[in-house]
Structure 1
Amino acid sequence: MRIAIVGAGAAAVGLLDALAALAVGAAEAGEVTVFEPSAHLWRGRPYGPDLDSVLVNVPPAIMSIRHSDAGHYASWLGGERAAAHMDDLLGEPIVPRALFGAYLADTAEAALAVLRRRGWRTRVVAARVVATARSGDGPGLVVRTEDGRGHQADQVALCVGGGTPQDHYGLSGAPGFFGDPYPLADTLGQVPAGADVAVLGSGLTAVDVVVSLAARGHAGRIALVSRSGLLPGVWQRPVSHQRRHVTAERVEALGRAHGVVTLDDLAGLVRAELEAAGEDFACFAAELLAARSEPPVERLRRQLAAVGDPAIGRQVLREGVHAVGPYAWRLLPEPDRDRLRRHFRLATSVASPMVPVNAAVLLRLFDSGQLSVVAGVRKIEAAANGFRVHRDDGDRNANVVTANVVINAVNPPPHSVPLAAEPLVTSLLTAGLATLHPAGGLVSADPRVHVVGDLAGGGPFITSGIPSIAARAARAARAADAARAADALPSAPTNVAG
């Protein structure tokens, strides 16, 4: 069995780790080839070398790349490193992303070593894959790299990562515009210390930019400019609570009983969870929906002050989005899916909050007047010595904010195709090995092709986190291992979308 893994980021690491675990009990060995042109193997775009101010935004308990062991990352981190990166307000270690990248690299190398000890042939090809097609002289596939070489494979796993940031305002090529902020060490090194900076977006990537500017002692004004102006929520200190109602089992039971699961059904599960804990669902819902009208700095200040609040509502909702969301999404009727998509920014602010240590930096900058939020942005244009940011107030009167530098921190849509992977995806579609999902992403149309990570179509509208990537990788490993063990193809395509 020859397995080709396209890409060497977190999804590939999870797949290798799962394959290594399966190989321990296997009677026969196989071959695995990883294709990755980047020099920073196993880290992907998010976890490469960068400034120490660019942090992982979640505690170690939900960052394990080993699906079968939630404590794998925490064990690797150890007590000394954890203590050195403690977020005192959260009570959890929050490490630089580059350190998490080291964890991914160690995990991948350990998995490859296990595979080699079990007799597997392993190699890494430092080239970009541009096409995959059916083999003309056998049942396998041909993976073609940009140097024109063809590589035979029996199973192909796409682990190409997330999409490429989009240039929504057509600023590419303008002096002072940075279309992709990462690595911030490179981008911010080109920003003059006194420049006025407009950061496009107000999500976690924008928070990374602002916090890193502050860490470098930036003296100019900073504006977070976006359509919504909504900041991420702030993490609460984790509360010991075992969900009894907001669970995959309860969602699946509702699906069996009614054929579908509505948003009202899901709200009912959250209501039951909160009421069982003695909390008021109506108050929680009102507080949640108020985020769309509450001034962002006031919301930030209030949530930062409530980091130690023992109320379970936000934790239940955040956990539910990631742990239960993939099951619920498949059962939701399309009108309810559309309702959720319309509230994408609010949903992501709850599902992906910022860590308190970063929230405290933002609040300090807001209070000093150096940082501001500019909402309602409709146009940004290059001008003499910089840029003009146009926004509309309630009377549709134009307001203009000027900046010397614009940094694009708007993340690509979930399930979008990375620019570098477009030729490969086109080849898969042309060969009939995959199809595009109507809501974005790629769906396998052949049992030999596996789509792992955020590119997989059919999943929820929230960008994949490490737990879901690890789960999808483990599922793809089991499918590939079953084909290898049986020396035959699975009966149905595997699209590990959730």
Structure 2
Amino acid sequence: MDIAIVGGGAAAVGLLDALAAVEEGETGTITVFEPSAHLWRGRPYGPDLDAVRVNAPPAIMSIRHGDFGHYAAWLGERGNAHRDELLGQPLVPRALYGDYLAHTAEKALAALGEAGRLVRVVADRVTEVMRSGVRLVLRTEDTGEYDATHVVLCVGTGTPPDLYGLAGTGSSDGRAGFTSDPYPLADTLDHVDDGDEVAVIGSGLTAVDVVVSLAARGHTGRITLLSRSGVLPYVWQRPIDRRPRHLSAERVTELHRARAGNVGLDDLIGLLRAELADVGEDFDTFAAELLATAHGDPVRRLRCQIEAIDDSRIGRRMLQEAVHTVGPYAWRLLPESDRARLRRHLRTATSVASPMVPVNATTLMRLLDSRQLVIVPGIRAIERVNGRFRVHGADHGENGADGVINAVNPAPHAVPDAARQLVGSLVGTGLATLHPSGGVLPADPRLHVVGDLMGGGSVITASIPGVAAQAFRAAQALRTP
């Protein structure tokens, strides 16, 4: 069996690690195609500022499926220098997490080589996959051709959208203009003067990264978060030693069997209600707090959440864990009407499922209290006028900025710009189809997808645990095609 892995980021690392664990006596080649200079790290975990941190505790950042201590064991004493005292957990720079991914990949490659696999890395971008009898032929940008029996797409998340049509409005003098993709922030912020007025489009985790990185560099100018919703991410709470008793994949499977495949959103809500009832918490109060997310004052909510980092209530913790562990499985069982209900609350769901770390939350709170940072919701338009940017808000009149940094996250399951030609060839040859809600579905058993590009999945972008689980399933399928 000859396997071609298209992409060399976290999804590819998870797949290689899983293949090294399950393969016994397999022969053939494994070829990884990755044109980036930052092999194994992907877009998020390449070299960058130390202020750009991993945004989750170590227990849910393991790229090895089922081994929650894998990353923590690798990190060891190195984590002590990056401990978030409010969370009680090490939160390291993302570049250090990239070292973990690279270490895991290299160990997997060595193990696969010792087991008889010929493993190679090709620093080129795949543009086409064609049928050739029982095999598949991959063509690259540099006109290379490689054949394989199976192809696995590990191309990462989509490209940040340009919601206000600002592409091409960069500055000719090297100073701040419009930045379409902020990463790596070390490069982006080199073009920002300390006193510049900076507008950041978005208010999610990427926007938080931009603001915290500006603060770490001693920025003195005004920073404005521009957002249609104005909703900030929630804040991580200290982990507790409690596993779900009701809201688990096993219980969802039981319901699925008992009800002849009919599992709805109300069933999942019932499981969460049971979790809270076990500890005497009121579900209706918890649900009301969640539903108020899109309407309340984001500054007041942030302050309350910082105060609740040590709160003993389990509701948010249980929901966050379930979104990433049960969510991808349960989503595929829900009727379309229930999926539509959840999509209407996408901004709230994303805010809860992907919270910011306390050390970043306290930085935002300090900047908000000093009025150096302001949040402007209801943005209608942004235009460049006389070398500056004019921002039109629904309720706040006009604001100005010297530079604009795009921190809008790609839509779930969006196709990255660099992979559009490849996906087009897969659809054109009948190897894949496009899902109506985004992403790609394999139409041939020789094609597999690992990561957020997989169509038909949850509206929440795949997390590291989700990617690791997909990689594990793909490795199992490749072992017994």
The answer to whether residue 141 in structure 2 is matched with residue 146 in structure 1 is: yes
Query: Following TM superposition, by how much is the alpha carbon of 1:479 offset from its aligned partner in structure 2, in angstroms?
Result: 1.2
Off by >6 Å, runs of 4+ in structure 1 = none
1:12 maps to 2:12 = yes
Matched, 1:178 2:175: no
Distance 1:10 1:243 in 2: 27
Residue among 373, 376, 394 paired with 2:375 = 373
Q: What's the CA shift for 1:287?
A: 1.5
Deviation at 1:242? Answer: 1.8
The residue that corresponds to 1:304 in the other structure is 306
- 1:252 Cα shift? 2.1
In structure 1, the partner of 2:174 is none
- Summarize deviations over 1:457-490 as a string: whole Å, max 9, x none: 11101000000101111111111122xxxxxxx3
Residues in 2 aligned to 1:408 and 1:232: alpha-carbon distance in whole angstroms: 17
Which of the residues 441, 457, 460 maps onto 1:459?
A: 457
Quick one: which of 361, 382, 385 aligns to 1:383?
385
Question: Unpaired segments of 5 or more residues in structure 1?
Answer: 483-489, 491-498
Which of 95, 120, 123 is the equivalent residue of 1:123? 120
Alignment of 1:96 with 2:93, yes or no, is: yes
- TM-fit CA distance, 1:245: 1.1
Shift of 1:170: 0.4
- CA distance in 2 between counterparts of 1:474 and 1:271 reads 31
Give, in angstroms, the shift of residue 327 of structure 1: 1.9
Give the CA deviation at 1:262: 2.1
CA contact (8 A) 1:244 1:273 kept: yes
The aligned amino acid for 2:126 is V
CA distance in structure 1 between the aligned counterparts of 2:347 and 2:292, rounded to whole angstroms:
13
Could you state the TM-score of these two structures normalised by the residue count of structure 2?
A: 0.97
1:329 to 322, 328, 331: 331
- C-alpha contact 2:433 2:442 (8 A) present in aligned 1: yes
Structure 1 position 329, deviation (Å): 0.7
Take 1:474 and 1:272, find their aligned partners in 2: how far apart are those partners? 30
Superposition pairs of residues 279-318 of structure 1, within 5 angstroms:
279-318=281-320
Which range is displaced more, 324-333 or 297-306? 324-333
Deviation at 1:336? 1.3
TM-superposed CA distance for 1:235, in Å, is 0.5
Matched with 2:22 is 22
**Residue 277 of structure 1: how far off its partner (Å):** 0.8
Q: What is the distance in 2 between the residues matched to 1:72 and 1:242?
A: 19
Q: How does 1:235-274 map to 2 (within 5 A)?
A: 235-258=236-259, 259-274=261-276
Question: Tell me, what secondary structure is at the counterpart of 1:470?
Answer: helix
Separation in 1, partners of 2:219, 2:26: 58
Q: Distance in 2 between matches of 1:62 and 1:424?
A: 31
CA drift of 1:27 comes to: 2.4
Q: Please give the alpha-carbon distance, in whole angstroms, between the structure 2 residues aligned to 1:388 and 1:335.
A: 40
Task: Answer yes or no: is the 8 Å Cα contact 1:200–1:409 preserved in 2.
Answer: yes
Judge conservation of contact 2:25–2:116 (CA < 8 Å) in 1. Answer: no
* Aligned mates of 1:327, 1:300 — CA distance in 2: 31
Instruction: Give the alignment partner of residue 401 of structure 2, picking from 397, 400, 403.
Output: 403
Tell me, in whole angstroms, the C-alpha distance in 1 between the residues paired with 2:26 and 2:131: 25
Q: CA deviation at 1:148?
A: 1.3
Residues 86-114 of structure 1, C-alpha deviations (whole Å, 9 max, x = no match): 00000011111100000000000111111
In the TM superposition, 1:418-497 aligns within 5 A as 418-482=416-480, 490=481
* In structure 2, C-alpha distance between the alignment counterparts of 1:166 and 1:458, rounded to whole Å: 21
Using the alignment, how far apart are the partners of 1:249 and 1:243 within structure 2? 10
Among the aligned pairs, what percent are the same residue?
66
Alpha-carbon distance, 1:68 to partner: 3.4
Return the alpha-carbon distance in structure 2 between the equivalents of residues 460 and 72 of structure 1: 26
Cα deviation per residue 1:288-315 (whole Å; 9 max; x = unaligned)? 2222222000000000011000100100
Aligned to 1:351: 353
Equivalent residue of 2:332, what SS? helix
The answer for the alignment partner of 1:495 in structure 2 is none
- Matched position secondary structure for 2:191: coil
The one-letter code matched in structure 2 to 1:332 is: L
Code of the residue aligned with 2:139 in structure 1: it is: R
Query: Which runs of no fewer than 5 residues in structure 2 stay unpaired?
Result: 171-176
Deviation at 1:328, TM superposition (A): 1.5
Contact 2:25–2:115 (CA under 8 A) maintained in structure 1:
no
- Give yes or no for contact 1:252–1:327 (8 Å, CA) kept in 2: no
Structure 1 residue aligned with 2:80: 83
* Structure 1 position 282, deviation (Å): 1.5
Aligned partner (choices 154, 159, 164) of residue 164 of structure 1: 159
CA distance in structure 2 between the partners assigned to 1:35 and 1:160 by the alignment:
10
Tell me how far 1:257 sits from its aligned partner: 3.0
Number of equivalences: 474
AA aligned opposite 1:126: A
Letter in 1 for 2:188: T
Pairing 1:186-197 to 2, within 5 Å after superposition: 186-197=187-198
Post-superposition Cα deviations, 1:347-385, rounded to whole Å, max 9, x if no partner, equal 011100000000000000000110010000111111112
Equivalent position to 2:322, from 320, 329, 332? 320
Q: Aligned equivalents of 2:92 and 2:25: distance in 1?
A: 40
* TM-score, length basis structure 1: 0.94
**Helix, strand or coil at the partner of 1:378:** strand
For residues 447 and 470 of structure 1, the distance between their equivalents in structure 2, rounded to whole angstroms, comes to 20
Partner SS state of residue 232, structure 2: coil
**Whole-angstrom CA distance in 1 between matches of 2:446 and 2:27:** 18
User: What's 2:43 paired with?
Assistant: 45
How far has the Cα of 1:255 moved from its partner?
A: 2.3
Matched residue SS, 1:401? strand
Separation of aligned partners in 2, 1:362 and 1:454: 29
User: Are residue 215 (structure 1) and residue 212 (structure 2) matched?
Assistant: no
Q: Take 1:330 and 1:113, find their aligned partners in 2: how far apart are those partners?
A: 36
SS in structure 1 at match of 2:30: strand
CA offsets, 1:317-346, max 9 Å, x none? Answer: 101111111121112111111111111110
Instruction: Measure, in 1, the Cα distance between the counterparts of 2:223 and 2:136.
Output: 51
Shift of 1:241: 1.3
* Distance (Å, rounded) in 2 between the aligned partners of 1:260 and 1:409: 39
The Cα of 1:433 is off from its aligned counterpart by 0.2
Cα contact 2:389–2:404 (8 A) shared by 1:
yes
Q: Shift of residue 266 of structure 1? A: 1.6
Q: How far off its partner does 1:269 sit? A: 1.3
Deviation per CA, 1:2-32, whole angstroms, max 9, x where unpaired? 1111010000001111111123xx2232210
